[in-house]
Amino acid sequence: MKIWYVAFFLALWILLSPHPSEAKVLSTFQKELYAVYIFAEERPPTTLGFVFTNFGPGNIKFLERLDIVLDKEGRVAGILVVYTPSDGFRRHVFFSKVSGWMLQEKRENSLGKVVTIRVITSDELNQIY
Report the pLDDT value the prediction gives residue 20, as an integer from 0 to 100. Answer: 47
Tens digit of each residue's pLDDT (9 = 90 or more) over 82-102? 999 888 889 888 888 788 888
Domain membership of residue 5 (yes or no) is no
Out of 49-63, 86-100, 103-117, the most confident range is: 103-117
Domain that holds residue 31: 21-126
Q: Taking the model in full, what pTM does it have? A: 0.72
Q: How many domains does the chain have?
A: 1
Question: What contacts 24+ positions apart, CB below 8 Å, involve 18-24?
Answer: 20/72, 21/72, 21/121, 21/122, 21/123, 22/121, 22/123, 23/120, 23/121, 23/123, 23/124, 23/126, 23/127, 24/120, 24/121, 24/123, 24/124
Domain contains 118: yes
10-47 confidence digits (pLDDT tens): 565 565 555 444 567 788 889 999 988 888 776 665 54
Q: What percent of the chain has pLDDT over 90?
A: 12
43: in domain: yes
Residue 12 falls inside a structural domain: no
